[in-house]
Chain A
Amino acid sequence: MRAASPVTLVLVGCGAVSRLFYQPALLELRRHGLVNILAVVDPRAEARAPLAVALGAAACTKLDEALELRPELVVIATPPALHRAQAEAAFAAGGAVLCEKPLAASATDADAMAAAAARTGRLLAAGHYKRFMPAHRALKTLIERETFGPLLDATLVEGGKFSWPAATDSFFQREQTPGGVLLDIGVHVLDLLRWWLGDPTNYTYADDALDGLEANARLDATFASGASVRLRLSRDWRTENVYVFRFARATVHSRVNASNQLEFTLDGLPMTLAAELREPLPGRPAPPTRALDTNPQAFIAQLVDVCAAIRENRAPFVPGIEGAQALRWVEACYARRTTLPIH
């Protein structure tokens, strides 16, 4: 029966994110009969071949070859400069697209991708999987429901000495990747901030790029609710890797990538509660419940959501337009950037 049949997919781009994230995630989904991995695509044989073997999929040099297999879903994990053309080709071949962040090389390209999806009636999902983390969902609820009173301010620091095993230097070349740490890890944070607080009413931005790509960035923003946010990003030096939210009656620490953990410091309580987020307990005696999604499980959750959205003919949890808007904010930051001192 079609509704229960695995979603056929191809994975485009066999770099580090595919190897470290998509490979284990897709294997798990296949184990549960949710996907059927038809092919992987990469011009470099040394990247393509091991992934094809690991996933038991055909190895294609070009996307066109893979699209002949008529996949229902094309997962794009290539350098951003390639995203738009690849997404448009996928839509033209009748496929849905889950595209890694940043959604494209520019907001204009990202808008064009979203427009192409709408025109062809195809699904476009943005790879902002951090929205699937239980801690981030909990923060959204705390902010919206004002459980601890209104959010006063937030300080977010993220990053460390760069260690992503980039296969080539394309990641550091302006022509191929039009941004540094803000585009790389910051686009996730800006997406979360928009999701939590809406578009900012006001902000300033500074970074340390000279004629290349920034390694340190600072953003100060205020939002319609009156909350102010300070963001510090680095791929130069270690940071505390934590988001701190000061509400009227409590402070909440969310450690970067600690998907199912939060630390609560409640007003009047002279201690901090370091909590694992679990499925809710009923209001009666009951055994402990199961822990909510870890970081890898949040990544898998996005793929599950996209597959379900295809089957149910609905929008994904993070539609492409959200990726375009996060990218537009990144570009707007670059447009108004001031320079940080080089120490």
Chain B
Amino acid sequence: MKTASQSSTWAIIGASGFIGLRALEGLHDRDGIAVRPVVRAASSLAVLARRRLDWRIAGPRDLASLTGALRGCSVCIHAALGDPLQIEQMATVAYQACAAAGVRRLVWLSSASVHGQNPAPGTDESSPIHDRHLLAYNNAKVRAEHRLEKLSADGRVEVARLRPGVVFGPRSRWITDTAADLRAGRAGWLDEGRGVCNSIHVDNLVHAIRLAATVPAAAGHAFVVGDAESVIWRDFLLPVATHLGLSANDFAIAAPAALVAERETPFAALTRSRLYQNLGEHVPDRAKRLVKSLASAWPAPALAPGAWRLPRSSSNAPRLTLEHTLLQRCAWKLPHAKAARILGYTPPVPFAEGLAASLAWLDFAEGPR
């Protein structure tokens, strides 16, 4: 039997993304819930358009258009991503738009990274979170949660926050980037992948989203959610390699990144400037993306000359990103006991099954090798 909220419309902001699309498929195709995808541009509809859906185009930081897009919905799932500053702004705009549109509950996709990629043993939702992480993304997610807590004090919208870790499944970067690195001969791991991987298969996350949207007691809470199994990185990385016909030997002992706070890129510095901030929504997203791509295309400082190297020899061991370095040093499986207790969350998809399905998708998407 459907609950009251299941018989009304659920909006999904960022429905074209990895998690948003999967949530849409699960809720619409499996549960028969009326969903309304909300995307930032017409070009984001390419995959969503496989189904005939009542979509809306609205920027997740444009209060007026987002409010219009959410009207008539009882639940709003927020699965859009942006740069750190945008993430914070999105939280405020999402809450205000939900309030103005009469949305009852906002399910906010936060992240386990509010606890850091390498949380101290014993960490759970009761552990205080701070915004002094090395990664700007983590800090943005923390500030976004703080904003939502503050805003929801007015009681106009119920907010449930989900904190997934490494979300994997079809279209997940954890799958595709790993495969691409392996194919390019630049895959690496720390300590042969013995660090804890706080994984969650995307369908387990969608299950948690469903619960966070409907369980009355979820309001006002943050929930860590994960897979049932205790997974280490090796359990995740090695099957991808095996699937590609490779082995543990194809992971180099990687050089960890230096543990220093991320430096602002020229673009981030620009976007933090007062001038750019004042331009706000007047600068079309397309123009902003262009500035961003130009900024990222700025030439890197000259590398040591490579002319006198043997062809195909790589100069160094692969260097892990700061995010991967922290993730692979993790020694703590974040517990989802609170989600189990309040939401009744038990992950339906076993890790191995989720990984096999993700690899089947990889074959489908990337074709015969």
Contacts and interface: CB of A to CB of B under 8 A. Distances in A.
A169 interface: yes
A162 B57 CA distance: 16
A235 B361 contact: no
B52 A211 contact: yes
B173 to A, nearest CB: 12
A340 B360 CA distance: 13
Given A174-B52, A212-B52, A343-B357, A236 B47 contact: yes
Nearest to B39: A169
B367 interface: yes
Interface string A306-343: 00000000000000000000000000000000001111
A171 B42 contact: yes
Contact of B43 (A163, A211, A236, A238): A163
A237 B171 contact: yes
A78 interface: no
11 contacts: A161-B46, A165-B41, A168-B42, A172-B42, A172-B45, A173-B49, A216-B364, A232-B367, A236-B365, A237-B365, A240-B367
A179 B55 CA distance: 18
A172 B365 contact: no
A206 to B, nearest CB: 12
B286 interface: yes
Task: Give the dominant DSSP class at B's interface.
Answer: helix
B175 to A, nearest CB: 11
Interface residues of A, number: 37
Contacts of B53: 212
Interface string B305-343: 000000000000000000000000000000000000000
B276 to A, nearest CB: 22
Given A155-B368, A239-B367, 18 more contacts: A163-B43, A164-B43, A165-B41, A165-B43, A171-B42, A172-B42, A180-B50, A210-B52, A212-B52, A212-B53, A215-B46, A215-B49, A232-B367, A234-B365, A236-B46, A237-B365, A240-B367, A343-B357
Interface string A139-168: 000000000000000010100011111111
B170 interface: yes
Secondary structure class of chain A's binding surface, majority of residues: loop
Interface string B345-367: 00000000000010011001111
A211 B50 CA distance: 6
Interface of B: 25, 29, 41-43, 45-53, 55, 57, 170-171, 286, 357, 360-361, 364-368
Contacts of B52: 174, 210-212
Interface of A: 155, 157, 161-169, 171-174, 180, 208-216, 232, 234-240, 340-343
B55 to A, nearest CB: 7
A174 B53 CA distance: 11
Nearest to B180: A238
A253 B130 CA distance: 53
Given A169-B42, A169-B57, A237-B171, A341 B364 contact: yes
A166 B42 contact: yes
B50 A165 contact: no
A162 B50 contact: no
B42 A215 contact: no
Given A162-B43, A166-B43, A210-B51, A343 B364 contact: yes
A214 B45 CA distance: 11
Contact of B47 (A171, A235, A239): A235
A167 B357 contact: no
A173 B46 CA distance: 10
Most buried by B among A172, A174, A216: A172
A237 B180 CA distance: 14
Of A165, A236, A343, the most chain B CB neighbours within 10 A belong to: A343
A164 B41 CA distance: 11
A74 to B, nearest CB: 26
Contacts of A240: 367
Of B29, B42, B357, chain A has the most CB atoms within 10 Å of the CB of B42
A161 B365 CA distance: 11
Contacts of B45: 169, 171-172
Contact of A172 (B49, B170, B361): B49
Nearest to A234: B365
A182 B29 CA distance: 24
Contact of A212 (B51, B57, B360, B365): B51
B360 A343 contact: yes
B17 to A, nearest CB: 11
Contacts of A169: 42, 45, 55, 57
A237 B49 contact: no
Contacts of A161: 46
Contact of B25 (A164, A213, A342): A342
A180 B52 CA distance: 12
B333 to A, nearest CB: 28
Contacts of B49: 172-173, 180, 212-213, 215
A168 B368 CA distance: 35
Nearest to A232: B367
A343 B42 contact: no
Nearest to A215: B47
A211 B54 CA distance: 13
Contacts of B57: 169
A169 B52 CA distance: 12
A165 B170 contact: no
Contacts of A174: 52
Most buried by A among B43, B52, B367: B43
Contacts of A236: 46-47, 365
Contact of A209 (B29, B43, B50, B367): B50
